[in-house]
Structure 1
Amino acid sequence: MSKATGKFVKGALILSVAALFAKVLSAFFRIPLGSLIGNVGMGYYGYGYPIYTFLSSIAIVAIPSTISKLVAEKRVLGQYKEAHLIFKHTMRFMIIVGLIMSGFFIIGSPLLIKAFRWEEQTIYSLWGLSLSPIFVCIMGVYRGYFQGMQNMVPTAISQVLENFGRVVVGLGLAYFFMPNVGYAAGGASFGSVVGGVCGALVLALLYLKHKKEIHEEMDSQKQATIATPFKSVVKVVLVLAIPISIGAAVNSVMNFMDSAIVTAVLVKGGMSDLDAANLFGQLTNTSTLVNLPLAFGMALVTSVVPAIAEAVARKDHKEMQDKMELGSRFGLLLSLPAAIGLAVLAVPIMGFLFPESLQGGPILQVAAFSIPFIMLGQAMTGVLQGLGKVWIPVQAIGLAAVVKAVLNIILVGTPLGILGAPLSSIAGYGVFTLYNFIAVKKITGFKLNVALVIIKPLISALTMGVAAYFTYGLLGKVLDASSTIQNAVMTLGAVAVGGVVYMIMILVTGGISKQDLDELKKKKENK
């Protein structure tokens, strides 16, 4: 493993740990929130939630990926002053963009509610989110600059603090506004604004901390500075950021297809608005668990874009191939056990986390199988963006959205009902992943090691699933699954056994080799 590849692995691991912790905080937020405001309240919150996740993907992936790619390319050439100028110009521009977007959400919320036949009380959730774009844009620029320097720590710290602020304030406001469910959902949404303030503030402080080093590096630049006008930087950023924003937001786009279509189809089939919001709330609850492992997918994209951009700038084809294989392996090693584990234990997991979501178990069983497609598709998106082929993922997501929308209309209107939504998601994500993979293979000649990347993790994950299933069943002979506490003990016991079995199997099958472990050990010792 080369030094550059090792840096990529280290960056991906740092972001993965931070993203997992942030998602755990997010889950901690939504689980008590669901108990507090109920399925109907979660429906109000869930209608606007894709907007928040889209904004989050901009902060975590789109803007940072754009800036990190540009900064990484300049730094490889030793143009440190030009890299910093890109940062400054982009910050000015994105603050303006954030203000415009916030104004749009404040004014346009009633139109969204009318267009998609959402409950009127959804307006409080939309208003609660309306100031998020300002802080999302600020965070994105700071994160991109640090990531372009291959420094993932500021992004990791800001992610954790952002989610911590969202959890504390969001839950506090929801509790304060109860029993008015609409106001409570709006208060929960406003937590994202406070989280954004926390994230932006810590990034600004970290930038000030590193400012002396940054200026010393700029002073060391030997070549003449090429002054880049504000308009030129904005043009380049827009050319890259728009397609990257869309390509990185596949999960948000697919969730928006649900919020825009599912409720309307259910109501058209004879269901009341309130019952439709209740069912949509249960679908929203399952997405909390599906999103946990997807944090790693976002970390992959964030790490792979500047890493691939550097390899391309150096014209190092082998390094590029190594990083593409690492990204694919990393994605499936994490997503396959997550998918199978959630599918096998879906009913008991929903039973103790969301006891009011009676239909959540079957929904989660289906939705879990979308995880590998999403994560591998996101990894391929990062590769394409690093290669500068930013419009290909946009084409992929456009095709996937059409498949998702058509199948939503067809399947949700059948006796499948709400289960049609996760089924259509699997099909949509499958199309997204396949399109991106074919493009990567065509452009780079990438050869996927099927045995190493797919077969070995799949065998290990299936064995883990069997172990978790039988562990839960054996514990059920001595414990009472109808008791929430005992069901939680049974479920956590099954998860623990499954995790141990997976780690053993991944070593036995060679999904992770001794060389991989030795390299990671060296990285740790050399810190």
Structure 2
Amino acid sequence: MSKGTGKFVKGALILSVAALIAKVLSAFFRIPLGSLIGNVGMGYYGYGYPIYTFLTSIAIVAIPATLSKLVAEKRVMGQYKEAHLIFKHTMSFMIILGLTLSALFFLGAPLLIGAFKWEEQTIYSLWGLALSPIFVCIMGVYRGYFQGMQNMAPTAISQVLENFGRVVAGLGLAYFFMPNVGYAAGGASFGSVVGGVCGALVLALFYLKHKKAIYEEMDTQKQAAVSTTFKSVAKVVLVLAIPISIGAAVNSVMNFLDSAIVTARLVSGGMDQTIAADLFGQLTNTLTLVNLPLAFGMALVTSVVPAIAEAVARKDHKEMQDKMELGSRFGLLISLPAAIGLAVLAEPVMGFLFPESIQGGPILRLSAFSIPFIMLGQAMTGVLQGLGKVWIPVQALGVAAVVKAVLNIVLVGSLGILGAPLSSIAGYATFTLYNFLAVKKLTGFKLNTMLVIVKPLIAAAVMGIAAYFSYALLGNILDATSKIQNAIMTLGAVGVGAIIYVIVIFLIGGISKQDLQELKKKKEN
């Protein structure tokens, strides 16, 4: 394992741990929130959230990815002053963009509600989110700058604090506004603003802490600084950030298509609007669980873009190949057991975490199988962005969105709410295959199928069988209709499954001792 690959692994692990903590906090937020405001309230909350994440994806994913790529390339050439100028100009540009997005979100809320046949009370949730883009944009610039220096700690810590602030403020405001469900959903949404303020503040403090070292590094630059203007930086950022934001926003786009089509399709089939909102709330709850392992996917994208960019700048083909395989392998080692585990224990997990959405078990079982496709698709997106082929994931998303939209219309009309997760699987699979074939064509990348896919799949299948029978055996002793006893049974089955997975993956060589030794060595470095 090369030094550059070691940095990549270390960065991916730091971000993965932070992202997992952030997602756990997010799940902790949605679980009590669902109990507090019910499925209908979660429907109000869930309608606007994909639009918010899509609008801010340019700052959450695109700007960090774009800026980290630009900064990494400049730093490899020793152009530290240019790297810092790019950071400063990008910050000014993104603050302007954040203000613009916030204004559009606030003013456009009534139009969205009318266009997609949402309940009128959804407007409070949309307004609650309106100020978030400003702070998300600021966070995106800071994160991108530090990631370009291969320093993932500021991003990791800010993610955790951002979600902590969101949980505390969102739940507190939702509780304050109950029993008015519309106001409560709006208060929960406003938690994102508070979280954004927390995240932006901690990143600003990190910058101030490192400012002296950054300027000292700039003083070591021997050659004269190249002229870097606000206009030139804004142009480059836009040219790169727009396709990166669209390509990386696959999850937001798929969820948005659910928001735009599912409820309208259910209502057009004769369903009451409130019942449709209830079903959409159940779908929103299942996505909370699907999103937990996807935290690792976003960590992969975040780490792989500057890592691949550095390898390309050094013309190190072997290191580039190593990172591509490592990203794919890392993603499937996590996503395959997550998918099978959620599918096997769908009803118990929903009964444990979302007792008011116990009917959501079949939705979760189907939704779980989209996880490996999303994870691998995100990894391939990061590779393409690192290679500078930023428009290919956009093309992939365009094709996948058409597949998702058409199948949403057809399947939701014939199967009801279960049509949504089925169409998502097809959409994500299309996105992943398109990106993978493009990477293979551009780089000649050859995936080690046995190591990357087959071995994790075998271990995950054995784990799923163990978890299923563990739950069944515990059912002979405990009462599954009791919330507390079902929780014990579910956690017990998850624990057994996790232990079995680790044992099997080591026994069949999916992870070797050499992998752990190399990782430990790089951590010590």
Bin of the TM-score, shorter chain as denominator length: over 0.9
Match of 1:365 in 2: 365
Q: Aligned in 2, Cα 1:133/1:442: closer, same or farther, shift over 3 Å?
A: same
Match of 1:413, SS state, is helix
1:452-491 matches, within 5 Å, as 452-491=451-490
| Separation of aligned partners in 2, 1:229 and 1:147 | 22
| Separation of aligned partners in 1, 2:229 and 2:123 | 41
Moved more, 47-56 or 11-20: 47-56
> What's the offset of the Cα at 1:61?
1.8
1:488-503 matches, within 5 Å, as 488-503=487-502
1:48-87 matches, within 5 Å, as 48-55=48-55, 57-87=57-87
> What's the offset of the Cα at 1:227?
1.4
Contact in 2 for aligned 1:24/1:292 (Cα 8 Å) = yes
> What's the offset of the Cα at 1:55?
4.8
| Separation of aligned partners in 2, 1:53 and 1:224 | 40
Contact in 1 for aligned 2:113/2:120 (Cα 8 Å) = yes
Match of 1:30 in 2: 30
Deviations 1:133-153 (A, max 9, x none): 100100000000000000000
Residues 1:441 and 2:437 are matched in the alignment: no
Match of 1:144 in 2: 144
Match of 2:427 in 1: 428
| Separation of aligned partners in 2, 1:418 and 1:62 | 32
The number of aligned residues is: 525
1:210-225 matches, within 5 Å, as 210-225=210-225
Residue 71 of structure 2 aligns to which amino acid in structure 1? V
Q: Aligned in 2, Cα 1:55/1:160: closer, same or farther, shift over 3 Å?
A: farther
Match of 1:390 in 2: 390
Match of 2:166 in 1: 166
Match of 2:114 in 1: 114
Contact in 2 for aligned 1:60/1:302 (Cα 8 Å) = no
Residues 1:344 and 2:315 are matched in the alignment: no
Moved more, 139-148 or 224-233: 224-233
Contact in 1 for aligned 2:455/2:510 (Cα 8 Å) = yes
Match of 2:293, SS state, is helix
Contact in 2 for aligned 1:60/1:298 (Cα 8 Å) = no
Could you state the TM-score of these two structures normalised by the residue count of structure 1? Answer: 0.99
> What's the offset of the Cα at 1:515?
1.1
Residue 367 of structure 1 aligns to which amino acid in structure 2? S
| Separation of aligned partners in 1, 2:59 and 2:30 | 21
What is the RMSD of the two structures over their aligned residues, measured on CA atoms?
0.7
Residue 291 of structure 1 aligns to which amino acid in structure 2? N
Which aligned runs of 4 or more in structure 1 are off by greater than 2 angstroms?
51-60, 523-526
| Separation of aligned partners in 1, 2:109 and 2:188 | 17
| Separation of aligned partners in 1, 2:424 and 2:227 | 47
| Separation of aligned partners in 2, 1:480 and 1:436 | 47
**Percentage of identical aligned residues:** 85
Residue 186 of structure 1 aligns to which amino acid in structure 2? G
Match of 1:399 in 2: 399
| Separation of aligned partners in 1, 2:229 and 2:475 | 68
Residues 1:280 and 2:280 are matched in the alignment: yes
Match of 1:356, SS state, is helix
Match of 2:321 in 1: 321
Match of 1:378 in 2: 378
| Separation of aligned partners in 1, 2:237 and 2:445 | 28
Residue 504 of structure 2 aligns to which amino acid in structure 1? M
> What's the offset of the Cα at 1:56?
5.6
> What's the offset of the Cα at 1:525?
3.1
Contact in 2 for aligned 1:58/1:136 (Cα 8 Å) = no
Contact in 2 for aligned 1:336/1:371 (Cα 8 Å) = yes
> What's the offset of the Cα at 1:57?
3.8
Match of 1:235, SS state, is helix
Residue 328 of structure 2 aligns to which amino acid in structure 1? S
Contact in 1 for aligned 2:60/2:137 (Cα 8 Å) = no
Contact in 1 for aligned 2:58/2:242 (Cα 8 Å) = no
| Separation of aligned partners in 1, 2:305 and 2:523 | 23
> What's the offset of the Cα at 1:362?
0.3
Residue 437 of structure 2 aligns to which amino acid in structure 1? I
> What's the offset of the Cα at 1:229?
1.3
Contact in 2 for aligned 1:246/1:394 (Cα 8 Å) = yes
| Separation of aligned partners in 2, 1:119 and 1:422 | 23
Deviations 1:161-213 (A, max 9, x none): 00000000000000000000000000000000000000000000000000000
Contact in 1 for aligned 2:166/2:192 (Cα 8 Å) = yes
Residue 516 of structure 2 aligns to which amino acid in structure 1? L
Structure 1: runs of 5+ lacking an equivalent: none
